[in-house]
Amino acid sequence: MDRGRGGEGHDLSGQPRSRALELDARDGLSDARSRFAIADDRLVYLDGNSLGRLPLATVGRVRKVVEEQWGVDLISSFEREWVALPVRAGELIAGSMLGAAAGQTVVADSTTNCLYRLSSAALHARPGRRVIVTDTENFPTDRYVLEGVAAAAGGEIRWIESDPVEGPSLDQLAAALADDVALVSLSHVGYKSAAIVDARSATDMTHRAGALMLLDCCHSVGSVPIALDEWGVDMAVGCTYKYLCGGPGSPAFLYVRSALHDELDPPVWGWWARAEMFEMGPLFVRAKGMPGFLGGTPSMLGLAAAEEGARLVAGYGIEAVRQKGIALTQYAIELFDELLEPLGFALGSPRDPARRGAHVAFCHADGKRLVFELAAAGVVCDFRMPDVIRAGMSPLTTRFVDVYDGVAALASLAERR
Ligand SMILES: *Cc1c(COP(=O)(O)O)cnc(C)c1O
Ligand 1 midpoint to CA 141 (Å): 7
57-92 pLDDT per residue, tens: 999 999 999 999 999 999 999 999 999 999 999 999
Nearest to residue 74, comparing CAs of 349, 346, 300?
300
d(CA 97, CA 224): 8
> How confident is the model over 358-377, as a mean pLDDT?
98
d(CA 141, CA 191): 11
Residue among 47, 112, 138 whose CB has most ligand 1 atoms within 8 A, to mutate: 112
Q: What's the pLDDT score for residue 286?
A: 97
181-198 pLDDT per residue, tens: 999 999 999 999 999 999
> How confident is the model over 309-321, as a mean pLDDT?
98
What ligand 1 atom has the least distance to the C-alpha of 191? Answer: 15
Q: What's the pLDDT score for residue 87?
A: 98
Q: What's the pLDDT score for residue 15?
A: 72
Q: What's the pLDDT score for residue 2?
A: 39
Q: What's the pLDDT score for residue 122?
A: 98
> How confident is the model over 365-392, as a mean pLDDT?
97
The answer to whether the CB of 196 falls within 8 A of the CB of 227 is no
pLDDT band at 417 (very low <50, low <70, confident <90, very high): confident
Q: What's the pLDDT score for residue 10?
A: 52
Residue 118, CA distances (Å) to 16, 98, 124, 234, 411 in order: 49, 18, 10, 10, 44
Interior/surface letters 7-21, b for 16+ CB within 10 angstroms, e for the rest: beeeebeebebebbe
Ligand 1 midpoint to CA 111 (Å): 6
pLDDT band at 1 (very low <50, low <70, confident <90, very high): very low
Provide the 8-state DSSP code for 43.
-
pLDDT at 200 over 50: yes
Q: What's the pLDDT score for residue 5?
A: 44
Q: Decide if 191 is catalytic.
A: no
Ligand 1 midpoint to CA 356 (Å): 18
Question: If residue 88 lies in a helix (H) or strand (E), which one and from where to where?
Answer: helix 85-93
pLDDT at 270 over 90: yes
d(CA 349, CA 342): 17
Q: Could you tell me how many helices (H) and strands (E) the chain has, helices first?
A: 13, 13
Q: Decide if 139 is catalytic.
A: yes
Residue among 218, 223, 245 whose CB has most ligand 1 atoms within 8 A, to mutate: 218
Q: Which residues pair with 356 in a beta bridge?
A: 195
Q: Decide if 390 is catalytic.
A: yes
CA-closest residue to ligand 1 atom 4:
111
d(CA 333, CA 406): 12
Does ligand 1 have an atom closer than 6 angstroms to the CB of 239? Answer: yes
8-65 pLDDT per residue, tens: 545 565 679 999 999 999 999 999 999 999 999 999 999 999 999 999 999 999 999 9
> How confident is the model over 350-372, as a mean pLDDT?
98
Residue 121, CA distances (Å) to 210, 215, 234, 390 in order: 15, 14, 12, 34
Mean pLDDT of the chain: 96
Nearest to residue 3, comparing CAs of 52, 39, 44?
44
Could you say which of 47, 109, 198, 216 is catalytic?
216
CA-closest residue to ligand 1 atom 1:
218
Does ligand 1 have an atom closer than 6 angstroms to the CB of 220? Answer: no
Q: Decide if 337 is catalytic.
A: no
pLDDT band at 236 (very low <50, low <70, confident <90, very high): very high
